[in-house]
Structure 1
Amino acid sequence: MNMKNESIYILKMGGSLITNKNEPFSLRKNIISNVVSEIIASGKKIIIIHGGGAFGHPTAKKYDINSGENLSIDNQIYGLAKTHSVMTELNKYIVDEFMKRQVPAISIQTSCVFIRDPEKGIELNLEIIKLVLNLGIIPILYGDIIFNRNGDFSIISGDTIILKLCESLGGNLQLSKVIFAMEEDGLFIEKPETDEIILAERIEYKQIDNLTLANLGKKIDITGGITIKIKNIKEILKLGIPVQLINGLKKGNIEKALINKRLRGTFFETLRK
């Protein structure tokens, strides 16, 4: 199968969407089931990435994994392995939701296809992902630990995974859109003249730096939250790939986003050159 002319979508299932971040190691099974069903119903070729939520974040935070090796933290290397272990547990549940519907999906172990280089930054080995897509299998990656060639380690977030995929795949495959499925309807901003909080339904690239983001409350997120997300979105838009933020809790939204039907959300337009 030649994928050069076949549209591929990238979908991020937010950790707070598929787990209850306030309750460690809790799954939102009904939400995951609905999301999987809508992905299948869309019939689109897709790469899925999911966040850590109640699985990865508490463990990584406890052992300060994102800051790298710290000999003053008791059992940190155990915590490193534990962070990876709980993420594979979450990932397996999602993969199994596809498999029990007779749809082939496979876990792509993030920490085995990504590595950090002290000079070159994060590197990605695309070969396995491309082979999996060619076979008609859905590759499912996840926020995970990442090793550094200098012997250290840290965390690679789902959002960073998406950016690196877009940078690496964009020249080889036709990436139609990146979709972030979250708990909210999209990106909420404050109107400067009234302080009214509104949903930003359509945002041009040139408007991004002037947005006043609304504070809708904070949850534990050791990967940077909305500020880092917007920074990554800007880089994706520069590659000519549009981005859409949607509410994954609302039935039908994910299928609508994948088949490009109108829905309430935030759509980021690409940088026009």
Structure 2
Amino acid sequence: MILIKLGGSIITNKEKPLSPRISTIDKISKQLKKIHEPMILVHGGGSFGHYWSVKYDMHTKPDRYSLHGVSIVKNSMIQLDKIILDLLIKNKLNPYCLPPTDFMDGNRPITKKIKEISKIAQSGLVPVSYGDALWYGAKKSYILSGDKIMSILAKILRPRLSIFVLNVDGLYSDFKTKRLVHEMDGDQVSIEDIPMDVTGGMKRKVEEATRISKMGLDVFFVNGNKPERITNAIKGKFEGTMFRGA
């Protein structure tokens, strides 16, 4: 099984609120159509959910955030998810919308439900989940990032490969010269030096990718602006940053 995360920065214009990158999503969908093994997709919020979570000061820690903010974040994620589902269908894939509430109880994964996702993927459908604002209980809510969903699913489903699709070539050891880290072994880049946004940005991706690799699973960071790199990575021809399964 292949687990793929479409980052918010590749599927939307993060600088412009509520602006999907339709052409990019379409090109990525055409590449996903070429994958002939079960896969699960997760996507971020970008200029949809991420934009509103910043505006309403909502974070990954459960707290009593604005109820109106929760509503708006959830609604915007449904809007973005619908755009992605429509483009997947246009490209003859069979997406199966899977809101995180289908497999989360507060901030705890429901193992039985996650194992069902594997069966859905093996049937030929493509489960599609996404980062979201979730109800926690005790009048609290929180932001569950798509990156966190990746490590939650990987822990239980143990995919052959986890791929984070970014709007850059991978992880840079030097942001000015754009010197690429080809293989992450934990000592080339300090996680503290990586820029962070409300749901973690690149820092959260590195943390979750490291967590997955420590489960003995390989993780790749690839550039979604060159969508053929997704299918190349699956075939073993890899360009980007690799977190080798420990």
TM-score norm. by structure 1 comes to: 0.81
Counterpart amino acid of 2:17? Answer: P
For 1:1-273, what aligned pairs fall within 5 Å after superposition?
8-66=1-59, 68-70=63-65, 76-116=66-106, 122-124=108-110, 125-170=113-158, 175-190=159-174, 197-203=178-184, 207-212=185-190, 221-262=197-238, 264-271=239-246
1:116 offset after TM fit, Å?
2.8
Cα distance, 1:149 vs structure 2:
3.6
Contact 1:32 1:94 in 2 (8 A): yes
**Local SS of the residue matching 2:106:** strand
Answer yes or no: is the 8 Å Cα contact 1:186–1:200 preserved in 2.
yes
Displacement of 1:210 after TM fit? 4.9
**Cα shift readout 1:160-183 (whole Å, capped 9, x = no counterpart):** 00000011112xxxx111111101
Q: Secondary structure at the match of 1:126?
A: helix
Q: 3-state SS of the aligned residue for 1:54? A: coil
- CA distance in structure 2 between the partners assigned to 1:248 and 1:215 by the alignment: 24
Q: 1:183-225 deviations in whole A, cap 9, x for unaligned?
A: 111111049xxx965211123xxx3145247979x68x31112
Please state how far the C-alpha of 1:228 moved relative to its aligned partner: 2.2
AA matched with 2:21: R
1:73 — aligned with what? Answer: none
In the TM superposition, residue 265 of structure 1 has moved relative to its aligned partner by 0.7
Unpaired runs of at least 5, structure 1:
1-7, 71-75
Kindly provide the CA deviation profile for residues 5-30 of structure 1, in whole angstroms up to 9, marking residues without a partner as x. Answer: xxx01111110001000100001111
Q: Per-residue deviation at 1:260?
A: 2.1
Runs of 4+ in structure 1 displaced over 6 angstroms?
213-216
- Letter of the 2:165 partner, please give it: A
RMSD after superposition: 2.3
Q: CA deviation at 1:46?
A: 0.7
- Indicate if the aligned counterparts of 1:111 and 1:145 stay in contact, CA closer than 8 A: no
**What is the percent sequence identity of the aligned residues?**
28
Alpha-carbon separation, structure 2, partners of 1:154 and 1:244: 27
Contact 1:190 / 1:214 at 8 angstroms: preserved in 2? no
